[in-house]
Chain A
Amino acid sequence: MNGRESLVSLALLSITLGCATAPSSEEIAANAAAMLKSSFKANGQASLDRLKQDETQALCSQLAGKPPSKEVAARIEKINRDAIKYPADGKLLGDWKNGEKIAQEGRGKQFSDDPAGPVGANCYACHQLAPQELSFGTIGPSLYQFGKLRGYGADTQRYAYGKIYNSEAYAACSNMPRFGHSGILNEQQLKDVTALLMDPQSPVNK
């Protein structure tokens, strides 16, 4: 090793020591919080509040892609299940035709979207639903014949509504947004999408 190299490695060593060798997880977490703050700016309807995580988001982020432990999953599912609000009128099924429109609509909540414009659920981005629509994604399972396969009973209706309202109540750290819980869809829209899955007349069940 010549003199220059050893100087460089000495310099490196001192930096390394300064950071207590490899950065610790706590250090990374603290730096990550600072980084978030300095790296985003509010734009239109997308305010910086959106970076404040609730407990579910924080717990799922920490897993870095691995499935949650039994305890964590139970915790997430409980707090989310407790937060589901079912319609006061007890009716869970709306108009499947409108539900289909909501399932097709990809806009809403982006900073580029008109805040007064449509907000959809973009279901087809991730799921197969009506077989006529060939352009569907595969992040979520196929929902073709959702009601036909499971039956059209009250329990299944309640499950479908609850799953769309708050997916985390049934599958901790699911990729699916919590459409009711997070205020993406209103109650009527939630009913309409539930009808798309559960109405025997819906093309999903043909």
Chain B
Amino acid sequence: MLALLAAAGWLKPDAAHAQAWNKAAFETHDMAETMKALGGAEPAQSKDIVFFQTPDIAENGAVVPIGIASNIPKTDSIAILIEKNPNMLAATFDIPAGTEPTISTRVKMGQTSNIYALVKADGKYYVASKEVKVTLGGCGG
């Protein structure tokens, strides 16, 4: 299957995965550290970044739905950061031209925390945040 796809020209792993995984960025503990690892300056607060399908309360921290849409022109990338997780950065998404600056995924949260949506647009960084409370339901047994 892989060989077939490659032969058909579908698969270009070297191109698609050209950027090496940014280990340093995924091992940071606060915003300043993360920005340094990502190579950016302090982000500006923005009202043009919107959370959608992101609940105020998550019944289980193992799966917290997060949707982020950026209305900032020339959005190049969107990142999800979770303040109180052991490592702050959860995911980054590069948005090529033609792709809507809107992503939705699910993340783990160890506890109630602020979630940051970090957007890079036209070389500048912007941020919005939202608190998500994590409850533990069930019998506890």
Question: Using a CB–CB distance below 8 Å, which chain A residues touch chain B?
Answer: 104-108, 110, 113, 122, 125, 135
> Interface stretch among B8-16, B41-49, B101-109, B133-141?
B133-141
Question: Using a CB–CB distance below 8 Å, which chain B residues touch chain A?
Answer: 135-137, 139-141
In the complex the two chains form, is A122's CB within 8 Å of B139's CB? yes
Query: How many Å from the CB of A43 to the closest CB on chain B?
Result: 15
Query: How many Å from the CB of A20 to the closest CB on chain B?
Result: 42
In the complex the two chains form, is B141's CB within 8 Å of A110's CB? yes
Once bound together, how far apart are the Cα atoms of A8 and B139, in whole Å?
Answer: 49
In the complex the two chains form, is B137's CB within 8 Å of A122's CB? no
Nearest-neighbor residue (CB-CB) of B140 within chain A: A106
The B contact surface, by secondary structure, is loop
B141: chain A residues at CB < 8 Å are 106-108, 110, 113, 122
A110: chain B residues at CB < 8 Å are 141
In the complex the two chains form, is B137's CB within 8 Å of A135's CB? yes
Query: How many Å from the CB of B24 to the closest CB on chain A?
Result: 38
B136: chain A residues at CB < 8 Å are 135
B139: chain A residues at CB < 8 Å are 106, 122, 125
A135: chain B residues at CB < 8 Å are 135-137
For the complex of A and B, list the 3 residue pairs with the smallest distance between their C-beta atoms, beginning with the closest.
A106-B140, A106-B141, A106-B139
